[in-house]
Amino acid sequence: MSALHHPADPVVIIGGGFAGLAAARMLGQAGVATILVDRQNHHLFQPLLYQVATAGLSPADIAAPIRTILRRWPTVSVVMDEVTGIDRARRAVRLASGAGLEFSTLIVATGARHGYFGQPGWAAHAPGIKTIDDAIRLRHQLLLALERAETMRAESRETRAEHLTFVVVGGGPTGVELAGAIAELARHAAERDFPHITRRCVRVLLVDGGARLLQAFPPSLSDAAARSLNALGVDVRLNAKVTGISAGMIMIGAEQIKAAVIAWAAGVAASPAATWLGAAADPGGRVLTGPDLALPDDPDIFVIGDTAAVPGPDGRPVPGLAPAATQMGRHVGQTIIARRSGRPAPAFRYRHAGSLATIGRSRAVADLGRARLSGHFAWLLWCAVHVWALAGFRNRLIVGTNWLWSYLTFDRAARIITQRPDLPA
């Protein structure tokens, strides 16, 4: 076991998502010695990952090397390695490479993974999208289903219909955006290139257990989203309980539906940070923090982003959104800087700027507190916010170009199958 050389009293950040990066930037600006560890070499702009899954963007359009993002701050260093545990007594992070990373202050920002409502067996047949590999795999499944349906003209009508049935589970922003994008990919782009697939053959289902889509939005916007999805041909099934998932098959209540692709956007579970830390967690596995986002019994260990369960000003938990993660990261950075110079640090206070979700190529819903928007103007707002929020100027340029092109031509830029997974039996 070798130890990495590092400065005295370092802040160690686990995770290069929105929360970890925001903390690293803040500490870098103040010249605090900081080490950020991530198992990936890149930060991923997760809100646009569904566009990689539906062949609208390339992975590099929405990802940037963490080293590049942080290189302007010389006191921040980046380690690509996987964390396997945290030794609170010895104040060290354990790494898969065998090296140990000592900290004086620790920020845990390890994000969330998919939760399957206690049915881990569903994961293999209904993958979610959290990483680039997830998105590429879903893209392969979608494009291969179209290729197979196209050459299947001599087969029975039922077999072909299965190859053109796509199910999305979960009616939150990700599920709504994914279902809209799949409908557009399959109906418009495919209709042009696949002469034997017509609009009427394609079936996209969006399934949710609740009474309305987008529960975090006002009901009027939930209805607007459902109408926009219907206009794209998406069959929205509300109050629909998923009772089983196996290869190419989903049970909704007692109904059995065969599908080429089942995508999961329903539940998230926090990373194993609570277990690593031996800390109290909510039922979703998120660590319960104090008002300063530190562990109640350890002021030098902070937990932020989707890994933390923090009450918001309205009493409801702070949502798992990129702006919330960024706010937590900044706050913890400021707290550490304040403490090190002997100043008091205020408690964390979440400010909700608004909620946005897009439905296909030209519609969105936006809840800005007082103002509620739906339709084209909300879509333009959504575009502006997302292009602007992307990590670097270059990405902004490419994403902007790609979107403009897709909008003008109804074409999909990244419709490439790069691996042929074994065909399911």
* Window 374-403: residues binding a copy of itself (CB under 8 A): 394, 397-398, 401-402
The CA distance from 361 to 184, in Å, is: 8
Counting contacts by CB under 8 A, is residue 124 touching a copy of itself? no
- Residue 371 or 404: the one with the smaller Cβ distance to a copy of itself is 404
Which of 153, 199, 241, 349 touches a copy of itself by CB under 8 A? Answer: 153
Q: Which among 82, 102, 150, 177 is annotated as catalytic?
A: 177
Which of 97, 119, 246, 275 touches a copy of itself by CB under 8 A? Answer: 97
Counting contacts by CB under 8 A, is residue 58 touching a copy of itself? yes
Listing DSSP states for 247-314 in one string gives TTEEEETTEEEE-SEEEE-SEEEE-THHHHHT--B-TTSPEE--TTSEETTEEEEEE-GGGEE-B-TT
Q: Specify whether the CB–CB gap between 325 and 273 falls below 8 A.
A: no
- Residue 87 or 133: the one with the smaller Cβ distance to a copy of itself is 133
Other C-beta atoms within 10 Å of 150: how many?
A: 17
Query: In angstroms, what is the minimal distance from the CB of 59 to a copy of itself?
Result: 6
- Residue 80 or 338: the one with the smaller Cβ distance to a copy of itself is 80
Rg (CA), the chain: 22
Q: Specify whether the CB–CB gap between 358 and 177 falls below 8 A.
A: yes
Other C-beta atoms within 10 Å of 17: how many?
A: 26
Which of 9, 87, 193, 255 touches a copy of itself by CB under 8 A? Answer: 193
- Establish whether 177 is a catalytic residue: yes
The CA distance from 388 to 385, in Å, is: 5
Query: In angstroms, what is the minimal distance from the CB of 264 to a copy of itself?
Result: 20
Q: Give the binding range for a copy of itself (CB under 8 A) out of 61-69, 113-121, 244-252, 301-309.
A: 61-69
The half-sphere exposure of 278 on its side-chain side, counting CA atoms within 13 A, is 6
Tokens of 245: 């998932």
Query: In angstroms, what is the minimal distance from the CB of 4 to a copy of itself?
Result: 6
Tokens of 67: 């080293």
Residue numbers at the binding site for a copy of itself (CB under 8 A) = 2-5, 39-42, 58-61, 63, 65, 67-68, 71, 74, 77, 79-81, 97, 99, 131-133, 136, 143, 147, 151, 153-155, 192-195, 394, 397-398, 401-402, 405, 409, 411, 413-420
